[in-house]
Chain A
Amino acid sequence: MEESRAAAVQELRARFAAGQTRPAEWRAKQLRGVLRMATEMEAEICDALHADVGKPKTEAHVHEISLVKSSCLFALKNLKKWMKPKKVHARLMTFPSTARITKEPLGVVLVISAWNYPLLLSLDPVIGAIAAGNAVVLKPSEVAPATSSLLAELLPRYVDSACIKVVEGGVSETTALLEHKWDKIFYTGNSKVGRIVMAAAVKHLTPVVLELGGKCPVIVDSNVNLHVTAKRIAAGKWGCNNGQACIAPDFIITTESFAPKLLEALKKVLEKFYGKDPLLSADLSRVVTPNHFNRLLDMMDDEMVSDKIVFGGQRDEQKLKIAPTIFLDVPLDSAMMKEEIFGPLLPIITVDKIHESFGLINSMTKPLAAYLFTRDSKLQKQFESTISAGGMLLNDTSVHLTNPHLPFGGVGESGTGSYHGRFTFDAFSHGKAVLHRGFGGEAKARYPPYSSAKLKIMKGVLVGKLGAMIQAILGFPRGK
């Protein structure tokens, strides 16, 4: 097993060294291959996603397949532009000279994916890694086994499998992979494993991108369009893998006086979306594994919060389904408020005045996303400047991740590095500075033996004094 893994990595190294992944044509061909795969295998992909997390067909299309395709198209459209070296201003100090920044691939990279968006979180980083000209190993999540084996079976048919490989497996396989030398490791998952990945990267001083999670707060002010707000919160929470998404709203903060209205609006919307018995709705993902199901049950039935439930609470252990469940004013030291929920439970925390929500959020670790619903532009400005999060969205949830011009990534506990669009390309590239000098512009002043005359000229050159520059170029000071 280890031999075949080592052999695979070695083959990737050899292919990369031979330059196979560098030409734009090769990169474009692979991207078109991924695009074809996502198009031709739609039905199989939907089936796998349904088998793994009970993902509704619409979510499979809208949140995974469509995004993979648009990612491919965006990369194909911009590939030449991204690959082009960028000319920068070379300073007068080194006149005459020209300066450029040229993007080169890092080499052989490892992408470790997650189980909640098992297609998207596997292919989106891989698309960028390929666009940047790297050889890639993809390790899909073993917690989504149907998608993992589908990728292992399909990808080699659509892309150059000598340079892009899928390695399946669990913890031991991932640990073994991490022992090898990578030029970059891209990990999506939780912060506990994120630490393990970063610690493993130390061995070869490998740079990492860690896309982690956090408790994404939603602040709801009272001057909002309540119906639209409730719909957008519901779509972002339960319409995203039933809350099992890194950018899903984790909890709500609103004023004590507004909470009842918001709660009523959410109840109405939920009934419209999922009917009177949500456990029967085909539009809700199930909980991924019995482990996570029990974790959520423990969280829900914890006596600190169990009496705070105001909506939902239905569960089906057989089908691993939990209905959208809302809690009101759970204690801040309950597990529900200390850990990332990653499920269909939504606590509403009330405060006296809406501004108090900022202090509460800042007392927690920085989340991947923070949301605010309000029409008050002053509150918006304050939110933007006071709260630190990977990304922020005003008056909506989740959709910012579909904009390929916005960097997507965390800060602090929610991660390091970002991607999407050009940012993925950059994450897997090295921006190499290239300076061309000619032999003219010989400044004697820079060489020993040193003298105060030379020092004077150098001082002038370094602050950009034209006179000193001319003197330097003309070979002053004369003599030594």
Chain B
Amino acid sequence: MGTMAASVEEIGAAAPQALELHALQHLGELRSTFESGRTRPLAWRQSQLRGLLRLLAEKEDEAFRALHDDLGKHRAEAYRDEVGVLIKSCNAALREVGKWVAPEKVWAPLVAFPANAQVVPEPLGVVLIFSCWNFPLGLSLEPLIGAIAAGNAVVLKPSELAPATAKFLEDNIGDYMDATAVKVIQGGPAVGEQLMEQRWDKVLFTGCPRVARMVMAAASKHLTPVALELGGKCPCIFDSASVGTGRNLQTSVNRVIFAKWSSCAGQACVAIDYILVEERFAPTLIKMLKSTLKRFMADSDQMARIVNARHFQRLTGLLKDPAVAASVLHGGKLDAKSLCIEPTILLNPPLDSAIMTEEIFGPLLPIITVKKIEDSIAFVRARPKPLAVYAFTNSAPLKRRIVEETSSGSVTFNDAVVQYGIDTLPFGGVGQSGFGQYHGKYSFEMFSHKKAVLKRGFLVEAMLRYPPWDEQKIAMMRHLYRYNYIRFIFTFLGLSRT
């Protein structure tokens, strides 16, 4: 397995390079805690969730500061996308966890009478959550909520590329939650590797496919089940014809800007990566984007910055290609000192350029024109399955075709990114965008094992189950298996020929 360490410079100087002995001992403590049964009672789980809510309320300012340090996020964005969503999820989990843990009765066929069949959720044990740097609070705590609600002991490994938030978590989680059951371990790729040498009962990884492969390969040695939340190039199909030119157009443009630049400056797995629009409408769309951007992003502090120098170089590199540079219509200003890139719009960069083959994860928006909007569907199908497909349209046939003919983690019509906050919808990818889903009840299920439990009595004994065998027994069993009780009785009574 290749090393996860890319370059030492990019890792925050404070990040530990290797797990210290005491950290490894922590892991043993978590296992004992889980085996003692401490994390199982509903009351414990609820107390942890309440602790988390208190943390989010009492330490809100520190959280905002950390997110601003790491990514230059404005308080409003930090609240709207991270803190606020977590509060909502925590409250929902508190309300619902009692329901989630309840065994589910299922139907047992007459052939097993008397019998009682149930599906009983149980915690998997000790789980590991790898978070990501772009929503460092949200992507750490949202899965944590589910893992705790499911009754597990948890290790949280925040991303070292968002060191202020990692430190915030390490400093505070132990004060608000049960430190014998929930631990935060900071570190870089080497620490990640060391953690993966252990056996876990589940690992959730949020990040890029390259590291996901290393995590899954390490997990396979222990048969550790994994869930991978990856990304992809989330397309936005803009059906100008049905959106029109009035208020709906402005609304759509607002929402596109929100989904591209207002969410961590495009550094989001669910951000709009590129737009597909009919040739004839492209100028109108571009004009509206420009004017609305002027209104929304007048101050530079309205948009998050690029997380670090390496990603800044990567994004700059995307624009270096002369054909790509020539397609820039708006923006393009880069400030290496402040790690700021202004909202940039490109028109038809070459389809084989890096900007159109790799996930952009930044404030660059390519607009690709098509002859007919329906051609977008083939365009999207020809590419790896993304985490989300977006479409602004009022056309029911187009909507149906998009749902039926494209595959993605999710589809959202006439808005983008907001699906993330709806906890009744499973959140996760498919194909290259990953596997495993969470949010709401799905988070609970992600960290649970649904155990089938069948209870029988001694009373009714089906003689035909046992050897020695004969044709009559076979016939009776055939009827039973088809739940054909009438024929069974006839055969049993000898009234039916076998």
Contacts and interface: CB of A to CB of B under 8 A. Distances in A.
A458 interface: yes
Interface string B427-444: 100111011110000000
Contact of B449 (A396, A411, A432, A435): A411
A390 B225 CA distance: 14
Nearest to B408: A432
A412 interface: yes
B374 interface: no
Interface stretch (A3-11, A113-121, A440-448): A440-448
B224 to A, nearest CB: 9
Contact of B455 (A210, A380, A413, A431): A380
A202 B217 contact: yes
Contacts of A389: 451
Interface in B395-425: 399, 403-405, 407-415, 418-419, 421-425
A462 B85 contact: yes
A435 B413 contact: yes
Contact of A448 (B303, B407, B455): B303
Contacts, number: 291
Nearest to B84: A462
A66 interface: yes
A171 interface: no
A372 to B, nearest CB: 10
A402 B454 CA distance: 11
Majority secondary structure of chain A interface residues (helix, strand, loop or mixed):
mixed
A389 to B, nearest CB: 7
B418 A435 contact: yes
Interface stretch (B139-147, B272-280, B468-476): B468-476
B481 interface: yes
A403 B109 contact: yes
B213 A433 contact: no
Contact of B469 (A57, A202, A448): A57
A99 interface: yes
A216 interface: no
Contacts of A61: 474, 477-478
B251 A432 contact: no
Contact of B458 (A201, A225, A463): A225
Given A205-B212, A432-B409, A102 B435 contact: no
Contacts of B467: 56, 58, 239, 273-274, 281, 283
Contact of A447 (B254, B409, B422): B254
Given A99-B422, A391-B453, A435-B413, 20 more contacts: A66-B477, A89-B424, A195-B223, A199-B217, A235-B465, A275-B468, A283-B468, A394-B453, A394-B456, A396-B456, A403-B109, A405-B108, A431-B426, A432-B410, A433-B425, A434-B410, A435-B415, A435-B422, A439-B251, A447-B254
30 contacts: A62-B481, A91-B423, A94-B418, A106-B430, A205-B209, A205-B216, A205-B230, A228-B461, A281-B468, A385-B40, A391-B452, A393-B455, A395-B456, A395-B458, A400-B452, A403-B109, A403-B112, A405-B106, A408-B452, A412-B223, A430-B430, A432-B408, A433-B410, A434-B403, A435-B410, A435-B411, A435-B413, A447-B257, A448-B74, A462-B80
Interface of B: 35, 40, 74-77, 79-80, 84-85, 87-88, 91, 106-109, 111-112, 117, 119-120, 122, 124-125, 201, 209, 212-213, 216-217, 219-221, 223, 225, 228, 230, 247-248, 251-252, 254, 257-258, 262, 295-299, 302-303, 381, 399, 403-405, 407-415, 418-419, 421-427, 430-432, 434-437, 449-458, 461, 465-469, 473-474, 477-478, 481-482
Interface of A: 17, 19, 22, 56-58, 61-62, 66-67, 69-70, 73, 88-91, 93-94, 97, 99, 101-102, 104, 106-107, 183, 191, 194-195, 198-199, 201-203, 205, 207, 210, 212, 224-225, 228-229, 231, 234-235, 239, 273-275, 281, 283, 362, 375, 380, 384-385, 388-396, 399-400, 402-403, 405-408, 411-413, 415-416, 418, 430-439, 442, 446-451, 454-455, 458-459, 462-464, 480
